[in-house]
Every structure is written in structure tokens, then in C-alpha cells.
Amino acid sequence: MFSSIKSVSLTVLLLLFAVFFNAHAESERYEFAESSRSIMRAGPGQSLSMLVQQIYPGYKQLWPRLEQEIKTRNPQAFNRYTGKIIPGQRMNLVTIKVLRKGSVLHLHVVGEVQSLKGFAKATDTRGNDRRLVAKAELYEGDRLTTDKDSSLVVKMVDDAEIHLKQNSSVRLTEYKMKSGFERGSRSILDLIKGGLRAITGAIGANPLSVYRFHTGVMTIGVRGTDYIAMLCEANDCEHSAGRNDADTQLHVVVLGGLISLQDEEGEVGELNMGQYAVATPETKVIKDDALPVNGLLNETEKKIYKEFQSSAKKSGAMWPWVIGGALLGI
């Protein structure tokens, strides 16, 4: 009898331990941030796995991720062909940030980094920065920022794509997806500086959902499209501008589908595939006979735009209408 009670008690204790362990494991999430610590000289024969195990002995479950993080942040320290550490090269390490359950529950994953060039970071709603790497998760409210000569491609949960240009910043203000993308799905983006190419996904294609792209100059609404929008220093898109700069102009090109341009008073007009528009807070002009200014399109985007122009000329089609100085009688 005593043996039976002892056996049952032991089983209950084991079950409680397993539940506690699993709950504890699920209550933690890890993020990696830049560290002031660094390895100045990796000795001959030292592997990355050896170094990670020596430096982070208490995080065995994170060793594979730590190796990938360090390798991604220090490409100059590894042989491009063998992947081995180059002896004597300096490597920046990472600090492990442990997020407890209370800090994790409110995080709403809305996309991930598909690819990047150079340096890009995400700033969360609490003001915390984290350097972005391939496959990094992105959360609702994140502000994404690229440095000069850097770019970022993001894949959202509805398969939309954001191609953030250099020296640019956009906020994933609101991104909610309902089952089947019916009424209640919302995609609200805010362009803070510079520009991007946006290829809309399921949310942008459904008339029952809400898609809004705020630029500070005008708001863009879309239905299943591919467009470029950039805040520039007047007509110079070689230099990106912020939405509150005095000489900011919004330049927009549609590569597929259509968009609507709206100000605070309502809709100004639609912009169709192949059209190019320039806007300031005072004037909105849709141009049907002008090439986009330098710096607005990259090589891939130029090719798409030129192919459309060539096709339009062959068919004899002309863009249907032009709005010039629409609101102020220019």
C-alpha cells in the first residue's frame, strides 16, 4: 500500500515537473543585439562552434542560432569558400536578450526578412532596436530602417512584399489578417523617410479589407498592385527626404494595377499602370508624358517601366487622363 502511494506520488511529481519545465520553456523568447565584446584574434584551428560553446556555455539550446548570428554579422571574418574563421580577424559578438512570457504575449508577427543588403534595423514600439538578418521575424508596430547603400526585402504574412530602398524608413503600423482576408483584415503602413516598392498581397487585393499607405503628403490606397513611392528632396530622388522636411515631394510610379491618391479632403484621382505622379502638400500632378526622375527607380524597376512604355507605344494606347495642379487651380 505504502509502495503504491509512493509510486503515485512520484508520478505526480514527475508530471508537475514536466508541466513546469514546458511552461517555463514556452515562456521565454530570445533576441540578439549588438555587443561591445569582441574577439580580436581567433587562433589557428579554432572553429566557430568551439568559440560559441566557450563564450556562451549556459545557452546550449541557442548554439546553432548563435553561430549563424555571428557569421551573418561578421562576413569579413570567414573564408568565402570554406566558411572557416580567418585567424586574426576581429568578430563582433552578440548579447542575448531573454524576453519573458509577459513581454512576448503581445508580439504580433506580421512578416519576416526575405533578403537584405548592407545594414537594416527594426525599432519596436518600446524604442528597442535590433539588427535585422535573413529570416528575422517582424512585429506589428516595428519601424524598419535602412542605411545608405543598403536595402531590405520583407515578406508579409499575406504574401505582400516590401522592398525598402536605401536610407529609408517605414513603419508597419497595423497589420491584421482575418480568416480568408474578409472584412476586418487591415494593412496600414507609414512611410517616414525615403522610399520603397510595394507589391500587395491578399489583403490589398480584397475589396472587403483595408489597405492604406500613409506618406505624410498623400495617402495611397490600392487594389492588387505593384508600385514605387518615394519621398525626395524636391525633384532629386538621388537624395531621400523625411515626410516633415520643407522641400519634400512624393514621387509615385505604378508598375501594375492601380492606386488611388488621397489627401485629407478625400480622393484626388487614380493612377494606372505605367503612370507617374508627383505631389506636395499643396499640389498633386499626374504626369503622362514624363520619365521618372533619377534615383526613383532601380535597374529592375526601370526595366519593368520601359517594357510597359514599349508595349503601350506599340498598341497606340495613351494614358487616359491627366490631373494638373488639381486642388489649387494651377
DSSP line for 53-65 = HHH-TT-GGGHHH
Summarised one tens digit per residue, pLDDT across range 276-315 is: 989 887 777 766 656 789 999 999 999 888 888 777 665 5
Q: Which has the closest alpha carbon to 248: 263, 237, 234?
A: 234
Supply the pLDDT for residue 185: 86
- CATH number of the structural domain 108-315: 2.60.120.1440
Indicate if the alpha-carbon torsion angle 227, 158, 300, 133 is positive or negative. positive
Angle of the 63-73 helix axis to the 48-55 helix axis, nearest 10: 120
Closest CA to 152 of 138, 74, 140, 139: 138
Q: Is pLDDT larger for residue 128 or for residue 320? A: 128
Q: Is the pLDDT of residue 164 over 50?
A: yes
Q: DSSP state, 15?
A: H
For residue 167, pLDDT beyond 90? yes
pLDDT value, residue 23: 40
| This prediction's pTM | 0.66
Lowest mean pLDDT among 214-218, 238-242, 298-302, 314-318: 314-318
Q: How many CA atoms lie within 13 A of 210 on its CB side?
A: 13
Contacts of 19 (CB under 8 A, 6+ apart): none
Q: Is 204 exposed, middle or buried (0-12, 13-18, 19+ CB in 10 A)?
A: buried
- Write the pLDDT tens digit of every residue in 151-161: 999 999 989 99
Contact assessment for residue 277 and residue 285, using Cβ atoms and an 8 Å cutoff: yes
State the residue for C-alpha cell 527607380: 297
Cβ within 8 Å of residue 54, ≥6 positions away:
none
Task: Look at residue 262 and tell me whether its pLDDT is greater than 70.
Answer: yes
pLDDT at 46 over 70: yes
Decide if pLDDT at 274 tops 50: yes
Q: Look at 40 and 178; give whichever has higher pLDDT.
A: 178
Beta bridge partners of 70: none
Residue spans in the chain of domains classed CATH 2.60.120.1440:
108-315
CA-nearest of 137, 310, 303 to 228 is 303
What's the angle, vertex CA 316, arms to CA 315 and CA 319, rounded to 5? 110
Gap between the Cα atoms of 248 and 231, Å rounded = 6
Residue 173 CB-density burial (10 A; 0-12 exposed, 13-18 middle, 19+ buried): middle
User: Long-range contacts made by residues 264-273, C-beta under 8 angstroms, separation at least 24?
Assistant: 265/327, 268/218, 268/323, 268/326, 268/327, 269/321, 269/323, 269/326, 271/227, 272/319, 272/320, 273/225, 273/308
| Comparison of pLDDT for 196 and 90, the residue scoring more | 196
Q: Is residue 250 a contact partner of residue 229, using CB atoms and an 8 Å limit? A: yes
What would the pLDDT profile of 135-144 be if each residue is shown by its tens digit? 999 999 999 9
Asked if 144 contacts 172 with a C-beta cutoff of 8 angstroms, the reply is yes
SS3 307: helix
The C-alpha cell of 285 is what? 500632378
Q: Which long-range contacts (CB under 8 A, 24 or more apart) does 270-275 make?
A: 271/227, 272/319, 272/320, 273/225, 273/308, 274/305, 274/308, 274/309, 274/312, 274/319, 275/319
